[in-house]
Homo-oligomer: A and B are copies of this chain.
Amino acid sequence: MTTPLHSRRQFLQQAALGSALVSYSLPRLAKADIDYRELLPESMTKAGGEFTNYGQPSPYEQQVIRWISANPDMPGNGVSWSPLHELQGTITPNGLHFERHHNGVPAIDPAQHQLLIDGLVDKPLVFSVDALKRYPMQSRICFIECGGNSNSSWRSQPILTAAGYAHGLVSNAEWTGIPVRLLLEEAGIKPEAKWVIAEAADGASLNVSIPLEKLMNDALLALYQNGERLRPENGYPLRLVLPGWEGIVNVKWLRQLRLSNAPAMSRDETAQYTDLMPNGSARQFSFEMASKSLITSPSQGMTLPDKPGIYQVTGLAWSGRGKITRVEVSADGGQTWVDAELQQPILSKAFTRFSLPWKWQGQYAVLQSRATDETGYIQPTREQLLKERGRHGFFHFNAIISWEVSEEGYISHVYPE
């Protein structure tokens, strides 16, 4: 194998033993081109800045932003992408959680906001936000992924934008709220109720249909995101969180849950968020986001400075069907695979960070990652996905993503097949 990948255990053992691999690589990284400055740095010669009531990132990190891509004729309709290629760990900080709005971010006074539960219930109920704050809450770390994430990968040519700006309509946070089941049971569910129409209080009057069963299972009416109240762009003051299901049904600015015996067949579940299949039919209600992974570093647009050199291949894997059980990495375009290490704890329907050291010898390479979830489902190649779904898709792209490494160490998005 000309592009050796090393298991983390093997790497650490070698590090501990001071083996040839490590004495070859890490000290060279450490020395860099820098001498330690004997003089005190300026920061030690004076008092530092003030305390702050609410902190902000370092001014040296101003490039770490969401990338906005909105409709010029309707600036409230679009997305902003999480910079996954700049992040580490698994939590997405609230300031960088992806956005998808159909008509902008409503400014909602929580004292004026209400949630109505009606339709096929014994007793319609109205909740103020203050009343909801007194209900039992649960927390769950889970990802939310827009059904349109990675949509550029359906195009015939690979897009050359940074990993997060092509695949970052997915983020992962600790959501805290009330099990929706508790509220529905309080209203009393009529036996004929099968669907729930959820409506947002935004300028798009966004509404979608959700099977009642999902709301009774693991859905949360979230009020908190990573400990603090929801951000406006993530649904303040109330949003649905449906772990593992596509973003649009995680309705933000939630104002109504109407129980029904049939779906509403609204615009966003008929004209949009459906999948045109090879036989000309449209697949609807594809709620569950399938197993997927993405190498965040090294990735599109980065360069490898040392040749040869040791690089950490790292990325994220997630599945709407449960836990990630395995992530494999290939450096030869999928001919051979090595198991990556998975960061603990591995949580169901949440980001799992994988990593693997890679010794790059300076040759042409194609880096790929492939996730498997606890149902046994394996992330498909792009070729397999196109075979199943055709070439006219826009939503629900979850195939393997490939980063080409040139002999000069430049990383580009490619379609290898």
Contacts and interface: CB of A to CB of B under 8 A. Distances in A.
Interface of A: 8, 11-12, 15-16, 18, 22, 26-27, 29-32, 34-37, 40-41, 43-61, 64-68, 70, 74-76, 78-80, 86-97, 99, 101, 103-114, 116, 123-128, 130-131, 134-139, 173-176, 182, 185-186, 188, 201-203, 205, 223-224, 226-234, 236-237, 253, 255, 310-312, 314, 343, 345, 347, 353, 355, 357
Contacts of A125: 27, 30-31
A47 B173 CA distance: 27
B48 A314 contact: no
Q: Which of A36, A202, A236 has the most CB of B within 10 A?
A: A36
A101 B51 contact: yes
In the complex, the count of this chain's copies comes to 2
Nearest to A347: B345
B345 A345 contact: yes
A35 to B, nearest CB: 7
Nearest to A173: B91
A128 to B, nearest CB: 5
Contacts of A54: 57, 65-66, 95-96
Given A34-B126, A86-B228, 14 more contacts: A15-B186, A26-B182, A30-B186, A32-B131, A36-B114, A44-B106, A48-B101, A50-B75, A51-B99, A64-B229, A88-B137, A89-B227, A93-B227, A139-B353
A53 to B, nearest CB: 4
A30 B203 contact: no
Specify which of A182, A228, A343 lies most central, judged by the most chain B CB atoms within 10 Å of its CB: A228
A202 to B, nearest CB: 6
A109 B42 CA distance: 10
A343 B177 CA distance: 12
Contacts of A74: 47
A35 B392 CA distance: 47
Given A43-B253, A139-B88, A253-B43, A50 B76 contact: yes
22 contacts: A12-B136, A27-B123, A27-B186, A30-B126, A36-B116, A37-B114, A48-B76, A48-B203, A49-B106, A51-B80, A53-B67, A55-B97, A55-B99, A55-B231, A58-B232, A60-B111, A87-B227, A88-B139, A92-B227, A93-B228, A137-B312, A345-B345
A104 B139 CA distance: 34
B227 A182 contact: no
Contact of A104 (B27, B29, B47): B47
A218 to B, nearest CB: 13
Nearest to A297: B133
A267 to B, nearest CB: 15
Nearest to A175: B89
Contacts of A347: 345
B41 A89 contact: no
Contact of A126 (B36, B126, B131): B36
